[in-house]
Structure 1
Amino acid sequence: MAEGRAPQWDAAVVGAGAAGLAAAGELARLGRSVVVLDGDGMVRRKPGEVLTPNAVPSLAALGLLDELAIDNQLAMPLLSIQRSWAAETVERDDLLMHPGGRGWSIDRLRFEALLASRAAAAGAVLSKGIRVDGLDGVAGQWRLSVGAAGRVEARFLVDASGRPAVLARRLGARLGRPKRLLAIHAFCRLAEEVSEAAHLSVAAAPDGWWYAVEVPQRSFACGYLFAPSLSSSSASDPRRRLLQACAEAGPFALRIQRVVQQGEICLVDASSSLLDKAAGEGWIAVGDAAASFDPLASQGLANALASGLAGGRAAHRALCGDNSALPAYAAAIRATWQHSHARLVPIYSAVRRWPEGGFWTFMSTHGHIV
């Protein structure tokens, strides 16, 4: 780039998941020129997801509450979370009693398509299938190498690349991932009608835990979370292992069996992680790139939206010359992650179905960043 030439964009967002789209939309609404680069073509693996009441403020800021209420292909009400951590004990958590008072089971692909359309309507430019191959330059004059000898120039970078945090790590941030957790997800459309409202069930298995939930469009999703070092056979035959883990699924047992046998199966990394710094001079990380949460917290998508919005605002303020915006954002990300971890340690430590020296010991020490 010739000296003195202005960059092509105010901000370039790498990754078009929920966090990246929320950040891009917020930057565009604040008057910034922004491009979203997504090497996956905005295709996501997990069709089902839940939004708990802590997502309501972000959804309101994004103007999405009405969409969730009227589009039954997008979302269905999530009424409760039913937890079974000890034999013959079921706790029902009624979401109506939480601040916000509402939750949803959503079609993740449809939800991200809605976020993409809102970001585009605000003025963000979405570029599908554009892989970032290289990065050079300095804050205020970043250069991203893309595609066949292509280049994108931007004053500011937003890393929304998910758990790999590819930009942040190239820029010197270190990723702490203390203990590895894998997830086997299964999803299937069912021939019979499902409920008009959803309930999320989670329960302990001997070496992990499983979940099951109704999903819009007559669909059902379930999954099994485990530490690979304690369950080496799970990755080699995920269908069989998921069926074994959910063998005591009560009223969901038959439905889970059909979904696992007939549906789509994917094995993904579900480890929690935290960057040692979620922002630096001329860049910021949002969503899982900044901090990914143990799925037991049920706040991955809610945090993606909140951090995307907060990251977009912090980036705008930094572009305006506010030197306090990025450190404050990074401190908030770390505090949120640490608070979430502190709430989970007693759960992992107390579950009687996890034998001493096994999963509960492994996960009760989960989260120490060196």
Structure 2
Amino acid sequence: MQQFEVLIQGAGPAGACAALNLAPHHRVLLLDRQVQPLRRIGESLPPAARRLLGDMGLWEDFLLQGHTPCHGNRSVWGGTAAEQDFLRDLDGHGWHLDRARFERWLRQHAIRRGAVLLAPAHTDTAIRVADGWQLTLQGPHGPCHAHARIVIDAGGRAATLARKLGAIRQQQDRLVCGWVHGHDEHAPADGLSRIEACEDGWWYSAALPHRQRVLAFHTDADLPAARQMRTPGWLAAAAARLPELGALLCSSGFVADTTPALTAAHSALTMPAAGRGWFAVGDAALSFDPLSSQGLFNALYTGLAAAEACDRSLAGDITACQGYATEVARIMQAYQQHLAYWYGAEQRWTGSPFWQRRHRLAALQYEVTAPA
């Protein structure tokens, strides 16, 4: 039986960040179901990420990776078009990432700092023992066993490991995202993310490194539009009819070169986000609606915060787990208030099921937060 101080399930941004911060001081096992990161959506990194990367000793190397600067956001929301630039942001601009390459880079740093990576692999069972956890793992050569003092669930929205340990997953909506990657014949030079609301949901597009572009549509899983986005060519054709985004795609000469993919994009919270001997990080702790553009930043932040709390816990601090769980709950409360505000600002399609649901959530959030 292999002995580790920390076992981390999931080597995405949250899990890799936890591993690279813990590995210099503790024996860390990092597991992932995929040998290499998959191409996926979720590539926006806000300016504030500069501070996190600096705290983790990654900033200078990150700059060498050649990701595309993001200078702000342009939205068509509530009937008006608006731009929010990062010119006054003390942290500078944000980035649009090559997501798979970014994840490989984080994994490499975790390994360089001493973490052991096992992939493809996942945790099958976790049994609490006096000094931690006895774990059965499914690895590339069959089942094996390990012991860890602390386990971290970084396995994404399913939060499989945290739920096995008794946590409850609270899903708040049914948002899904359909997306394609493609390339621009004439790449726009403004470096802006684009968001545009429509009757059944909202659209997003951004230019990525090497003249690549992502195009995505967000709606609810039970609505007809969710079934339509699976049809090859539908996303690009539907986006081309939008007043603003359609004009951008036409001028850039966008051509989709992947089949449409569908992924969960709902808001959710794991309660609690930590307990005796375990932590949840990234989407396994709290999942953000992509409208917030905070999902990847949250992965980095919770990975670092959980690593610090884990280090304190291993040193004997019995308050570390509860402190982390309280911080995650506080972040979720602030996020819900901001999300309710932005969805409540779009009032053009009050008869649409998608917007009716968001307006009900916005009204409920207002009732909860309004002063007595």
Structure 1-normalised TM-score?
Answer: 0.90
Contact 1:139 1:281 in 2 (8 A): no
Matched, 1:40 2:34: yes
Secondary structure of 1:149 counterpart = strand
Matched, 1:343 2:338: yes
Structure 2 match to 1:62: 56
Secondary structure of 2:222 counterpart = helix
Q: Return the offset for 1:250.
A: 4.0
Structure 1 match to 2:369: none
Against the structure 1 CA distance between its residues 256 and 136, is the aligned structure 2 distance closer, same or farther, given a 3 Å change threshold? farther
Residue of 184, 195, 200 corresponding to 1:202: 195
Matched AA of 1:152? A
Against the structure 1 CA distance between its residues 293 and 48, is the aligned structure 2 distance closer, same or farther, given a 3 Å change threshold? closer
Q: For the aligned residues, what is the CA RMSD? A: 2.3
Contact 1:246 1:256 in 2 (8 A): no
Contact 1:179 1:366 in 2 (8 A): no
Structure 1 match to 2:349: 354
Structure 1 match to 2:370: none
Structure 2 match to 1:133: 124
- 2: distance between equivalents of 1:240 and 1:257? 17
Q: Return the offset for 1:272.
A: 1.0
Contact 1:140 1:156 in 2 (8 A): no
Q: Return the offset for 1:259.
A: 3.4
- 2: distance between equivalents of 1:230 and 1:149? 41
Contact 1:50 1:105 in 2 (8 A): yes
Contact 2:181 2:215 in 1 (8 A): yes
Q: Return the offset for 1:194.
A: 2.5
Matched, 1:298 2:274: no
Matched, 1:252 2:248: yes
Structure 2 match to 1:276: 271
Structure 2 match to 1:4: none
Q: Return the offset for 1:238.
A: 6.3
Matched AA of 1:117? Q
- 2: distance between equivalents of 1:206 and 1:322? 51
- 1: distance between equivalents of 2:233 and 2:70? 26
Structure 2 match to 1:104: 95
Structure 2 match to 1:218: 211
Matched AA of 1:364? H
Q: Return the offset for 1:188.
A: 1.9
Residue of 86, 107, 125 corresponding to 2:78: 86
Contact 2:29 2:115 in 1 (8 A): yes
Secondary structure of 1:194 counterpart = coil
- 2: distance between equivalents of 1:71 and 1:197? 20
Structure 2-normalised TM-score?
Answer: 0.89
Structure 2 match to 1:234: 228
Q: Return the offset for 1:76.
A: 1.2
Q: Return the offset for 1:255.
A: 6.7
Matched, 1:71 2:65: yes
Structure 1 residue runs without a partner (length 5+): 2-6
- 2: distance between equivalents of 1:64 and 1:364? 41
Matched AA of 1:251? A
Q: Return the offset for 1:323.
A: 1.0
Contact 2:180 2:260 in 1 (8 A): yes
Residue of 149, 160, 179 corresponding to 2:154: 160
Matched, 1:50 2:44: yes
Q: Return the offset for 1:222.
A: 1.2
Structure 2 residue runs without a partner (length 5+): 366-372
Q: Return the offset for 1:70.
A: 3.2
- 1: distance between equivalents of 2:168 and 2:240? 36
Q: Return the offset for 1:242.
A: 5.5
Secondary structure of 2:103 counterpart = helix
> Aligned pairs, how many?
358
Q: Return the offset for 1:348.
A: 0.9
- 2: distance between equivalents of 1:144 and 1:259? 47
Against the structure 1 CA distance between its residues 341 and 93, is the aligned structure 2 distance closer, same or farther, given a 3 Å change threshold? same
